[in-house]
Structure 1
Amino acid sequence: MCDPTTMIKTKNTRRRRRLRVRKLRYKWQRNVHAIEESDSNELGHNGPSESNSDPLVLSENESISALDCGVYSEMSIIGRRKEMEDEVRVELGLTAINDEKYNFFAVYDGHGGAQVAQVCRERLHQIVAEEIVGWGEMDEAEWGKLMEKCFERMDDEVNRGAAAMKTVGSAVVAAVIGNEEVVVANCGDCRAVLGRDGIALPLSDDHKPGRTDELKRIESAGGRVINWNGYRVLGVLATSRSIGDEYLKPFVISKPEVTVTKRTDNDEFLILGSDGLWDVVSNEIACNIVRRCFGGKLKRLSLKVENDSHVAEAAAVLAELAVARGSKDNISVIVVDLRKPKRSSP
């Protein structure tokens, strides 16, 4: 039998969570309305509307990760889910090519469990660092080959793991950022969006089973895409590419799509996020919010961060907005400041 004391504690914990999310919703209704006034063509027309149910937003220990080194911040919250399956990883100075240092940022969105996302968090950046050794200056094709090999190795390691992981997987979006370029490798339905000169520029394309080219690939391999609460591979998985998910191969593949974007003086920031963010917030609104945070015009309402830097505010505000707009998933976001220091005049 359950301990009555434990049951009471659980009920009290849930009650506190409901009160926190109601308070957050109430506060954000006013802020969202103000943003809608200036961005009426975008906000309010993306994803599902806010639900009246009581979501599970934060675990008892808050389930928040906010690390900031002045140029980036990360935020992860459990959202409405009972389990946290998202992971994030940041490695500054991961590697160097011809004396140019590269930083690594990644969001891992697990499904069926957190095991694969956790393994990816511990290993993918190490694999990238191992594979990049010996490479000289690389063009887009070479970056593509490199990242494809890294994801293939990561997938092989996962599939050689415990039997319990055969039905577990993770979407991945990873960015390797140097002084001259931003390399993004995407496998699944996480997303990378670049803020540049007032414009939202997507650097990845979600791998959804209903995407025309993905649907054709799956059917050519002998699989089926079934519309069961959204398009799903064999009626099961809502993403068409991932690390893991061995039981759905060869229909679900681990090959990433890779983009290489040359940096410019007009670059502002990069947003990496799980679909818990992007299902309810458009690229344009997300970028507008980050710009407002950078300009000191918008601040978080409830989530705790380790400092008050503009990147920490931006990551927290995006997570709060996703909750307020009814996101049904874990929410993870990384915001990277790409603005170059202004040179002082002589």
Structure 2
Amino acid sequence: MMRSCCRPLERCFGRLNGDGLLWHMDLKPHASGDFSIAVVQANSSLEDQSQVFTSPSATYVGVYDGHGGPEASRFVNRHLFSYLHKFSKEQGGLSSDVIKRAFHATEEDFIQLVKRSLPVMPKIASVGSCCLVGAISEGELYVANLGDSRAVLGRRGFDAEKNSVVAERLSTDHNVSCEEVRKEVESLHPDDQDVVVYIRGVWRIKGIIQVSRSIGDAYLKKLEFNRDPIFQRYGNLVPLKRPVLTAEPSIVTRSIRPHDLFLIFASDGLWEQLSDQLAVEIVFKNPRAGIAKRLVRAALQEAAKKREMRYRDIQKIEKGIRRYFHDDITVIVIYLDHQKESFHSKGTLGSITAPVDIFSFNSNDAEENQVIEAF
């Protein structure tokens, strides 16, 4: 048996009074604790997508932050977990190799969709998505990432008397605003002095995009799209000698430890406003119910403060216009309750026989979904 929670958002969330663009789910159970989720829209079309998979033996989390449109993030939301299931079953359990294969298969499928859709929808070659996935299975934690969404662990401080919490970043931000990432991209293109340029106060690859890894962005990865006359009529004329983006995820694995308390998975809209440490302190110091919503509200309050506005003034701004004040924000908080025996069960995503839940949070726009549905 499988139950799904999908479009439109109102079916899954309750709306927050005073802000018609914020949805939230206060608390649901997963294999080793509880989780909470919240989403606030800023763009004309919600480009953030997310999902949580729960079973008695495993928990999977996905946060997909689209750019250039919602098509790529929606596509990942529909296909990535299916590949995780397939490859886990084939290889007898979860592993870094399984996760990489699932990412690569999703990327290849989307590139094929771009190829078929280009004549009727040229812009799809410039649509992409960051992709952050977390998995907890048999007491092991896997975090895989493309782009600048981020996973942060909240663990108890070693000084128990102070009852403190420490933030531990588990993912790498693949964003050329980071000097290390910028140098990595430049080292791969020694003959291209303009591969990363500083434009309007921001570092960007080819003056266009900040992230160096993604699903999609086909015209920055495949010369056939970059040079296609149909796409060139659409715009974004960027001469390339070789691909400047990749879909190779960075993967971190670690055992769940007794002092690990919770995980925060969020799109960069949250981290543009809150530091890792402030975010984990908010989770640590407040009740569980509605904690993801509390993080989103804290981010919106910070965004309002930067503009010398009141929080309630931002709540009144319509989607599209609101993007000038903050990005789409998705937050999923996963609590880690170590007393639960499910950490030691032998099930995997590929061998579930008990009921499972998949909560998939996205928007419903029939016109924008047309090409994706055709796939």
> Under a length normalisation based on structure 1, what TM-score does the superposition of the two structures give?
0.70
1:134–1:321 distance in 2 versus 1, CA, 3 Å:
same
Q: Is this contact kept in 2: 1:187–1:241, CA < 8 A?
A: yes
Q: Is this contact kept in 2: 1:166–1:246, CA < 8 A?
A: yes
Q: Deviations over 1:205-232 (max 9, x none)?
A: 1001243443344332465111123111
**Inter-partner Cα distance in structure 1 for 2:57 and 2:185:** 38
**Which residue does the alignment assign to 2:151?**
192
**Inter-partner Cα distance in structure 2 for 1:328 and 1:63:** 13
More strand by share: 2
**Which residue does the alignment assign to 2:171?**
204
How far is 1:179 from its partner? Answer: 3.6
Match of 1:166 among 85, 107, 125: 125
Counterpart amino acid of residue 332 in structure 1:
T
How far is 1:63 from its partner? Answer: 4.9
**Which residue does the alignment assign to 1:233?**
205
State the identity %. 29
Match of 1:107 among 52, 63, 70: 63
**Which residue does the alignment assign to 2:329?**
331
Q: Deviations over 1:175-232 (max 9, x none)?
A: 0112411100010000000111121111101001243443344332465111123111
Count of paired positions: 259
How far is 1:147 from its partner? Answer: 1.7
Q: Is this contact kept in 2: 1:266–1:339, CA < 8 A?
A: no
How far is 1:137 from its partner? Answer: 6.4
In structure 2, the residue corresponding to 1:64 is in which secondary structure?
strand
How far is 1:289 from its partner? Answer: 0.2
1:69–1:242 distance in 2 versus 1, CA, 3 Å:
same
In structure 1, the residue corresponding to 2:129 is in which secondary structure?
strand
> Under a length normalisation based on structure 2, what TM-score does the superposition of the two structures give?
0.65
1:291–1:257 distance in 2 versus 1, CA, 3 Å:
same
In structure 2, the residue corresponding to 1:207 is in which secondary structure?
coil
In structure 1, the residue corresponding to 2:91 is in which secondary structure?
coil
**Inter-partner Cα distance in structure 2 for 1:208 and 1:108:** 15
Match of 2:50 among 88, 92, 110: 88
**Which residue does the alignment assign to 2:255?**
262
Counterpart amino acid of residue 112 in structure 2:
R
Q: Is this contact kept in 1: 2:28–2:35, CA < 8 A?
A: yes
User: Do structure 1's residue 73 and structure 2's residue 36 form an aligned pair?
Assistant: yes
Q: Is this contact kept in 2: 1:179–1:263, CA < 8 A?
A: no
Q: Deviations over 1:18-58 (max 9, x none)?
A: x94xxxxxxxxxxxxxxxxxxxxxxxxxxxxxxxxxxxxx5
Structure 2 unpaired stretches of 5+: 1-16, 157-164, 222-242, 304-324, 342-375
How far is 1:146 from its partner? Answer: 2.3
Structure 1 unpaired stretches of 5+: 1-18, 21-57, 94-99, 297-309
In structure 1, the residue corresponding to 2:295 is in which secondary structure?
helix
User: Do structure 1's residue 315 and structure 2's residue 292 form an aligned pair?
Assistant: yes
Counterpart amino acid of residue 232 in structure 1:
R
Larger CA deviation: 182-191 vs 193-202: 193-202
How far is 1:67 from its partner? Answer: 6.3
User: Do structure 1's residue 273 and structure 2's residue 244 form an aligned pair?
Assistant: no
**Which residue does the alignment assign to 2:85?**
129
How far is 1:237 from its partner? Answer: 0.7
**Inter-partner Cα distance in structure 2 for 1:122 and 1:206:** 24
**Inter-partner Cα distance in structure 2 for 1:189 and 1:77:** 18
Q: Is this contact kept in 2: 1:182–1:262, CA < 8 A?
A: yes
How far is 1:264 from its partner? Answer: 1.1
- Report which structure shows greater RCO (CA 8 Å, sep ≥6): 2
Instruction: Summarize the alignment of residues 169-180 of structure 1 with structure 2, pairs less than 5 Å apart.
Output: 169-180=128-139
**Inter-partner Cα distance in structure 2 for 1:314 and 1:77:** 14
**Which residue does the alignment assign to 1:290?**
283
**Inter-partner Cα distance in structure 1 for 2:27 and 2:108:** 32
How far is 1:76 from its partner? Answer: 0.7
